[in-house]
Amino acid sequence: MDRANVLSGAACRTAAYAALAVVAALILTGVTAFSYLSATLDTTLAQQIRADEIMLHDIYDGGGKADLAQAISEINNPVAQTPRVIGMFNADGTKLAGNIDRMPPLGTSKRMVLTTTDHNARASSYYLNTARFDDVTLVLGQDLSLTDAAERSFLWVLLAAGVVLTAAILGIGYGASRSSLIKLTRLERTLDLVSNGDTDARVPVMPQMDQIDRIAARVNTHLERLSGLMISTRTTAAAIAHDLRTPLSRAFLSLQDALTRLDRGQDPRAAIEAADDELTSLGGIFDAILRIARIETQSGKRDFKPLSLAPLLADMVETFGPVAEESGQTLALLSSSQDAQILGDERMLRQMLVNLIQNTMTHCPVGTICTLRLQADDQAVTLDFADDGPGIPEGDRIRVFEPFYRLDRNRTTKGSGLGLALVKAIAERHGAAIHLSDNRPGLKVTIQFPPEVPVKPVVPVKKGKSASTRG
């Protein structure tokens, strides 16, 4: 993994900014807390010094300089070590008593390093204060080593917290950036594989489903569709070539037959008519293929209008009922919900119904009863189209939607195997789910449309307008 790539990742950059913000916040709170801590410690020392000062002032008031000097030397007893220093000086600065050598140069700062005159004389820092009793100057100080230690510990803790926090934030940022980069690299590699022809390649999707995983899942859905289209294009092209060859060669043979008849001085009319039939059926197949392709490639619902399915079904049954009756079958509308509103293209929907009716008439025997049911609720508008004919075995119920797929028993019946492919294309174009089931006996086609709440007046269904039959 390229480290420069990881470091330039968004997560890494965000972590760097977060670390900067944390460091800035720590410095700010550290400075405030440190000054508060110092001020508090100084106040405590100042109070102790003030107590000493009051006590020494009382002694001075009672016995003058001599008593004061005596008291100071007792306080500074080297045996009973105390954390304080006291110096007593004349107005000209000469030392009178105490363990401070020279009058310290007292400026604004109250903290100062002094060397005491004790037997273990050592330099140490003290908090100092001065008091004046007539012409005597008293310098009183408290040892700062404990205060210094407390302040140093505070600074170390602050520094350690800063280092640990910054390292943790940068580490998390680096980790997140690295995992994003790994995922993006996989995505890139998969797209490369697919563009090089591997239609099975998919992006791995992690269960935590972060933003990249969601994109990966989306990419997979699109790849799935794309490879499905590529495969179906391939198989459809092969099926078209295969299925067109038979009528084409039959037309060719008929034309040859016509020529032979002409050569022999016989009437070629029958052979020419046979060729014409084959070529007309070829034209029909091409028409259906183009229609399916057009519907599958269209997108958006710009041409769709809100329409009510009940009058459309009633009209279709009225038109095709007599045709079915002529072939000894029955076509009936059993129930029809008047609120069944969908957004759709009326011409396409008529074509879809025609294909289903046509199938019943072609693939079911005399006496078959075909029924239509329309129901609507908040979730869906459901159209059930059922017959009591031979039905379709379960194993073939998906495959019959493939172009040119026909059951073995129907290989010789009229048709090209494109009817249900067109039905499916139209259903999908309307966002409807289509599914075949066993009507016990017979075939049941269920189509579930997404419902449309009527916003405009319903488009009236024109009577007597019928689509051409295909498939």
Ligand X SMILES: Nc1ncnc2c1ncn2[C@@H]1O[C@H](COP(=O)(O)OP(=O)(O)O)[C@@H](O)[C@H]1O
Q: Which residues bind Mg ion (CB under 5 A)?
A: 359, 415, 419, 471
Nearer to Mg ion, 175 or 390 (CB): 390
Give whichever of 216 and 392 is closer to ligand X, judged by the CB atom.
Answer: 392
Distance CA 365, CA 95 (A): 134
Q: Which is nearer to ligand X, 337 or 362 (CB)?
A: 362
Task: Compute the least distance from the CB of residue 470 to ligand X, in Å.
Answer: 8
- The length of the chain is 471
Nearer to Mg ion, 269 or 435 (CB): 435
Least distance (Å) from ligand X to the CB of residue 259? 32
Q: Which is nearer to ligand X, 142 or 359 (CB)?
A: 359
Question: 162 touches which of Mg ion, ligand X, none (CB within 5 to 8 A by kind)?
Answer: none
Any idea of the CA torsion for 323, 326, 328, 334, to the nearest 10 degrees?
30
> Which residue number, 214 or 245, has a Cβ lying nearer to ligand X?
245
What DSSP element (H or E) covers 141?
Answer: strand 136-143
d(CA 167, CA 171): 6
Nearest approach, Cβ of 329 to Mg ion (angstroms)?
15
- Which partner, Mg ion, ligand X, none, binds residue 424 by CB below 5 to 8 Å per kind? none
Least CB distance to Mg ion at residue 358 (A): 6
Binds 87: which of ligand X, Mg ion, none (CB < 5-8 Å by kind) = none
Q: Give the nearest distance from C-beta 284 to ligand X in angstroms.
A: 10
The one of Mg ion, ligand X, none whose footprint includes residue 410, by CB under 5 to 8 A per kind, is: ligand X
Give the one entry of ligand X, Mg ion, none that residue 298 binds, where binding means its C-beta sits below a cut-off of 5 to 8 angstroms depending on kind.
Answer: none
Rg over CA atoms, the chain: 50
Residue numbers at the binding site for ligand X (CB under 6 A): 359-360, 362-364, 387, 389-392, 400, 406-407, 410, 415-421, 443, 471
Binding partner at 417 among Mg ion, ligand X, none, C-beta below 5 to 8 Å by kind: ligand X
Q: Which is nearer to Mg ion, 403 or 471 (CB)?
A: 471
Look at residue 220 and give the partner it binds from ligand X, Mg ion, none, a contact being a CB closer than 5 to 8 Å depending on partner kind.
none
For residue 63 the two structure tokens come to 């016995």
Decide: helix, strand or coil at residue 101.
Answer: coil
Residue 343's H or E segment, with its range, is strand 341-344
Pairing state between β 136-143 and 123-133: antiparallel
CB within 8 Å of 118: residues ≥ 6 apart: 76, 78, 81, 99
- Burial (CB < 10 A; 0-12, 13-18, 19+), residue 408, is exposed
Q: How far apart are CA 268 and CA 260, in angstroms?
A: 8
Residue partners of 300: CB distance under 8 A and separation at least 6:
none
Residue among 251, 248, 246, 247 nearest 271 (CA):
251
CB of 214 to ligand X, least distance (A): 38
Residue 318 CA neighbour count, 13 Å, CB half: 11
Distance in Å, CB of 416 to ligand X, minimum = 5
Task: Give the residue with the Cβ less far from Mg ion, 359 or 382.
Answer: 359
Select the binding partner of residue 288 from ligand X, Mg ion, none (C-beta < 5 to 8 A, by kind).
none
Angstrom distance (rounded) from CA 377 to CA 126: 89
Residue 345 tokens, joined:
């293209």
CB of 382 to Mg ion, least distance (A): 22
